[in-house]
A and B are shown apart, each in its own frame.
Chain A
């Protein structure tokens, strides 16, 4: 094994270690945070645009102001809100 090969092997090893540590310690955390963030996004649309599902929301004048920003998310949000819930949801 040459000197260079040794160096790249050490680098790979180091890289794998950091990735493993990230996977063990932080990946779940960031995934959970993103999941919560996504749920909050849907909650947010619900409390501002609830009218779209027939849930009356207070000042429509201001809701309308926010409408342009959520246009791309409306479809996924509706699907999620109106989806049937089952046990599997709690498991994964």
Chain B
């Protein structure tokens, strides 16, 4: 029988490891053990979780919840994402951007309501977590990424989320590109200079790049 160790030895290209399953099967234990083994063999490892129960804090006996990557020992870092904190900081960033862009003293009520409502729905937390994980993976500073998932079929859900987001962003970006073409066409007919860059398109391309990259890692694309 092939041990877990052999999987790592024979497939050095498998750098993203996810532990999923029901409650109490040993996800966190195995995540921590695998991370420990890899780290003690000279690999730079990040083990992380988005679980508010903070099991990694328990297993490493260190308070790491919402504190970014915390060094546990040589080559081993652990991180627990605090979704609430993450979303709050993000909301503030969006508000500030609106105020700066239009020089407003306060965010318009309607927009503020939207920001509040969007953050209250469960999809917000999911997509925020998704992005937090994308963020870590995109930086690519580690040899191994070990994802200690939360129970309740989260693993499969997470994978399908990557796929759905991937299609969503591709469609939205395509529409925006078509819009750009119309703009250029009008400029050509009227023999005017093409107007400034489309900032929304730039944002979309940035998001698209992130989602495509993570979907590429998570699915056989």
Q: Let me know if A71 and B108 touch, CB within 8 A.
A: yes
Map CB proximity to B onto A40-68 as digits: 1 under 8 Å, 0 otherwise.
11011001110110001011111111111
Mostly, the B contact residues are helix
| Also in contact, A66 and B130, with CB within 8 A (given A34-B186, A40-B175, A48-B172) | no
Task: Confirm or deny: B4 has a beta carbon within 8 angstroms of a beta carbon on chain A.
Answer: no
Given A51-B118, A61-B130, CB of A40 within 8 Å of CB of B165: no
| Interchain CB contact under 8 A, A30 and B189 | yes
Q: In the complex, what residue of chain B is closest to A59 when comparing beta carbons? A: B127
How many chain B residues touch the partner (CB < 8 A)? Answer: 44
**Whole-angstrom distance between the alpha carbons of A33 and B104 in the complex?**
33
Give A25 Cβ to nearest chain B Cβ, in Å: 9
Residues of A close to B143: CB separation below 8 A: none
- Nearest Cβ on chain A to B70's Cβ, whole angstroms: 24
Tell me the smallest distance from the CB of A61 to a CB of chain B, in Å: 4
Q: A66-B200, A71-B111 are in contact. Are A44 and B127 (CB under 8 A)?
A: no
Q: Report the minimum CB–CB distance from A46 to chain B (whole Å).
A: 10
CB pair A67 B182 closer than 8 Å: no
Q: Which of B14-22, B39-47, B55-63, B93-101 contacts A (4 or more CB under 8 A)?
A: B93-101
Check if B38 is an interface residue, CB within 8 A of chain A: no
Chain B residues in contact with chain A, CB under 8 A? 90-91, 94, 97-98, 101-102, 108, 110-111, 114-115, 117-119, 121, 123-124, 126-128, 130-131, 164-165, 168-169, 171-172, 175-176, 178-179, 182-183, 185-186, 189-190, 199-200, 203-204, 207
